[in-house]
Chain A
């Protein structure tokens, strides 16, 4: 087991899959000569050469569409968005073309493509660089949406994503690229659509992904000091969602809090709350609580950003609410 950063884990996944399959290539802004805006693709140009690692123009819609066309003609593109905030320039290609092609062609054209990049707020980047897009992206049939929280999950899931025959949205985080975690030396894959219990507990179920998972882990430690034993579930894949894992946990704890850094209206957390409420109605001892970013655009100043984002304190308060404390 090696202790590596998230960026290295993602890089290893791409390198291993490109070594395995000559049809896999990487394209995006600054991925080649600059070694990646966040160094995720470090060393890949040197290793694979300019035929397989391409610096794109700043044309997200254009190179996303190029990826779709390349996939239609037999390649397996990895398209890096420097941030998903730029990625929405490519929503037409992702939603109208990549997601619909298999269906519209009655299964003739599969689109094996990964669109990956950081999602959500980082640190003091303001309104146009801080949005979390999982609600929009999970709403589209034809797309699979993955959002890992650890280097181990990121590597195993990205490898599965590259091998999958569907368009995959892979949501990362700028502030998690330096996060370290253990990754096995031998090859492994993590199946898409399978969640993970990140902390076992019996009193309340916390559900979160990506960097919110870490917020929940921190909250769980504080709750433990208060005598509350929280179970923390990481769905890892948001579309399709591992509902059984969630229901199983809620049937045990009878209380559920979902933490989602996107806005509350029609969010993934809202979807989870609905599913839990319907499927575990008789098991619940309290309504499902949700912790979100406030329904405002992201302010710049550090204390303002912190004030509107989910926090450990907000998670603890939500847990207290479902426990009537």
Chain B
């Protein structure tokens, strides 16, 4: 049973598709040598990003780790400025100062883009603290990877969030690997959401390869958090089709394993469902794909045209008064 309106599903389908094409284009640009540094792609994990974001208001906050290009776009940062940031351009989201791992928007309440695994967890607790201090019913979503749950800061943050009932939705995007290490080789428990038991915190799991499930499940959690502020730990079971970063050939896993997830691809699955239920056609889905590719292309073209990061930016913003 799918309760979500078909029109909204179609909209989310198109959004996922755009993120897929966007990240593919980013990957190609990297392979062509148009930029360097670390670059972590979100391909395969689109359903989590889109299904969660659809439940948020503009005043809600999002904070994430380093695999966050599409989460930043979902929160309202212009896609063309994300790719310009990767290219080290003045038109970049933070004017070429951050690169792939650091997207920010104060206006859109996207709080980064962080490169220290787990470091965003206590910061999210602090935003939850501020939400309660300011007496609003906003929430903050804090994305983290499976391996971040083994950082001490994660535990410290969970304890504070639970003790003080802070409205933080911690979402573990469990893509099964901390870089190249299978999470099962480094972790004593089988389900990471069980970490919440140590803090008497609400928790659950969701199939992160299924957009409808993510959207509808998170749609039940967030209104409850607004009504009665408290944290929540959600484990989304997902998978990244590419390596940890673009330079990782991912030889630590089998082709069969990758295929088993691609067979449940969130975009293909939703497309098939839309067609099977008479909400779309092959032609329409093809046209959506064409649009997504064109939009991603336009982002790259815009980034190409953007002037390089200004030299003076290297010395600005070290201190608040250097703006």
Task: Identify the closest chain A residue to B111 (Cβ).
Answer: A72
Q: CB within 8 A of B153: which of A92, A107, A108, A164?
A: A92
Q: Is the CB of B116 within 8 A of A73?
A: no
Q: Report whether B130 and A73 are in contact in the complex, using a CB–CB cutoff of 8 Å.
A: yes
Contacts A62-B159, A104-B112 given; does A68 touch B123 at CB 8 Å: yes
Most buried by A among B98, B115, B320: B320
Q: Which residue of B lies closest to A51 (CB)?
A: B133
Judged by a CB distance under 8 angstroms, whether A63 is at the interface is yes
Q: With A65-B125, A108-B105, A108-B106 in contact, is A59–B131 under 8 Å at CB?
A: no
Interface: B129 (CB within 8 A):
yes
In the complex, the answer to whether B131 meets A107 with C-beta atoms within 8 Å is no
CA distance A97 to B317 in the complex (A): 14
Tell me which residues across on chain A come within 8 A of B106, comparing CB atoms. 105, 108-109
**Contacts A68-B123, A72-B123, A104-B104 given; does A110 touch B116 at CB 8 Å:** no
Of all chain B residues, the one with the shortest Cβ separation from A97 is: B119
Could you tell me the distance between the alpha carbons of A106 and B314 in the complex, rounded to whole angstroms?
Answer: 10
A107 surroundings in chain B (CB, below 8 A): 316-317, 320, 322-323
Task: Give A324 to B126 CA distance when docked, in angstroms.
Answer: 56
Indicate if B201 sits at the interface (CB-CB under 8 A).
Answer: no
The closest CB in chain A to the CB of B115 belongs to A96
Pair B98/A66 contact, Cβ less than 8 Å: no
| Nearest residue, chain B, Cβ from A101 | B112
Given A57-B159, A72-B111, A73-B131, the answer on whether A106 and B126 have CB atoms closer than 8 Å is: no
Among B125, B152, B319, B323, chain A packs the most CB atoms within 10 A around the CB of B319
Q: Which of B99-129 contact A (CB under 8 A)?
A: 102, 104-106, 111-116, 119, 121-129
* A164 proximity list for chain B (CB < 8 A): 320
Residues of B within 8 A of A111 (CB): 320
Q: Is A59 a contact partner of B104 (Cβ separation < 8 A)?
A: no
B276 to A: closest C-beta gap in Å: 44
Q: How many angstroms from the CA of A65 to the CA of B152 in the assembled complex?
A: 12
The size bracket of the interface on A is 35 or more
Q: How far is the CB of A116 from chain B (nearest CB, A)?
A: 17
With A106-B94, A107-B317 as contacts: A62 and B129 at CB distance below 8 Å: no
B130 near A75 with CB under 8 A, answer yes
The answer to whether B125 and A59 have CB atoms under 8 Å apart is no
**Residue A133 at the B interface, CB < 8 A?**
no
Closest to A71 in B: B126
Report whether B156 and A106 are in contact in the complex, using a CB–CB cutoff of 8 Å: no
Inter-chain contact total with CB atoms closer than 8 Å = 148
Q: Which residues of chain B from 78 to 114 have any CB-CB distance to chain A below 8 Å in the complex?
A: 94-95, 97-98, 102, 104-106, 111-114
Q: Is the CB of B321 within 8 A of A165?
A: yes
A49 at the interface (CB under 8 A from B): no
A104 adjacent to B122 (CB under 8 Å): no
The contact of B127 among A70, A96, A110, by CB within 8 Å, is A70
Chain B residue at minimum C-beta to C-beta distance from A27: B129
Q: How far is the CA of A92 from the CA of B156 in the complex (A)?
A: 13
B134 contacts partner chain A, Cβ-Cβ < 8 Å: yes
Cβ contact within 8 Å between B119 and A106: no
**B157 contacts partner chain A, Cβ-Cβ < 8 Å:** yes
Shortest distance in angstroms between B5's beta carbon and chain A's nearest beta carbon? 33
A166 contacts partner chain B, Cβ-Cβ < 8 Å: yes
**A77 CB contacts on chain B under 8 angstroms:** 126
Shortest Cβ gap from A48 to chain B (Å): 12
Tell me which of A70, A92, A109 contacts B126 (CB under 8 A): A70
Interface pair A69/B130, CB less than 8 Å apart = yes
Min C-beta distance of B111 to chain A, whole Å: 6
Which listed residue, B115, B125, B134, touches A74 by the CB 8 Å rule?
Answer: B134
Q: How far is the CA of A111 from the CA of B321 in the complex (A)?
A: 12
Return A72 CB to nearest CB of chain B, in Å: 6
Is A318's beta carbon under 8 Å from chain B?
no
Q: Does A210 contact B (CB under 8 A)?
A: no
Q: A66-B125, A75-B133, A105-B104 are in contact. Are A92 and B95 (CB under 8 A)?
A: no
CA distance A73 to B136 in the complex (A): 12
Per-residue CB contact flags for chain B residues 121-162 toward chain A (1 = under 8 Å, else 0) read 111111111110110000000000000000011001101100
> Please, could you name 27 A-B residue pairs with CB atoms under 8 Å apart, sorted by A?
A57-B156, A57-B163, A65-B122, A65-B123, A66-B122, A66-B123, A66-B157, A68-B126, A69-B126, A69-B128, A71-B126, A73-B127, A73-B134, A74-B134, A75-B130, A97-B119, A102-B319, A103-B317, A104-B98, A104-B102, A104-B104, A105-B104, A105-B112, A105-B317, A106-B313, A107-B320, A108-B106
